[in-house]
Amino acid sequence: MKSLIVYDTKHGASAEVAERIAKVIQGKGGEAELLDLRVKGAAAAPLGAYDAVVLGGPYYMGMWSKRAKAFAARREADLAGKAIGLFAVGSNAELGDKAAIAALPASLRAAVAASAYVGGRLVFRELGSFERFIVKKVSGSEADSSTLDLSKAEALGAELAAIAAAKKALK
């Protein structure tokens, strides 16, 4: 099984989640490559060689990653027929991965084989000035916080590895 983990990250948490998913897939005997959507030209990477594609990014202020959403929309035809995984990182456990699924083109929503909301991490000093202003205004605090649960990323990776292996066995 060959998987591509496509991610957008703002402060590094999504990259950490993507790396953990890749390690799990590799640990299950699969191949996994990472694709950072912040890198120029990354969105045009060929997808034909992959059995599974995991797409993830931050969920901030009521919206899932614009880059991840745009990637799914532009590459809809290339993603068809692949095992699709999805993850969201952020502060809203109720909406996280559900909002990410809803942000996908309709044809891909039903194709999501596994998804996870993995929590989030806030390191106050790493935020931009506007983000610090908003966080302080909303929470009244400048404290760092984390609900990041990498065991959920590991479970997502294991689930996708199993799905992709089953699909491959049917061929």
Q: What residue ranges do the domains of the chain occupy?
A: 2-120+148-170
Element (DSSP H or E) covering residue 117: strand 112-117
pLDDT of the residue at 110: 84
**Rounded CA separation 140/13 (Å):** 23
Type of residue numbered 171: K
% of residues, the chain, pLDDT over 70: 95
CATH number of 2-120+148-170: 3.40.50.360
**Rounded CA separation 87/56 (Å):** 5
Model confidence pLDDT, tens digit, residues 115-145: 888 888 877 778 788 877 887 787 787 877 7
pLDDT of the residue at 25: 93
**Bridge partners of residue 56, in order along the sequence:** 7, 87
pLDDT of the residue at 131: 77
User: Per-residue pLDDT averaged across 48-56, rounded?
Assistant: 91
pTM recorded for the entire structure: 0.85
User: Per-residue pLDDT averaged across 76-81, rounded?
Assistant: 90
**Rounded CA separation 84/93 (Å):** 21
CB 72 within 8 A of CB 82: no
pLDDT of the residue at 162: 87
% of residues, the chain, pLDDT over 90: 36
pLDDT of the residue at 76: 93
Helix/strand/coil for 101: helix
Q: Which residue has the tokens 């991840």?
A: 68
Q: How far apart are the first and last CA of the chain?
A: 12
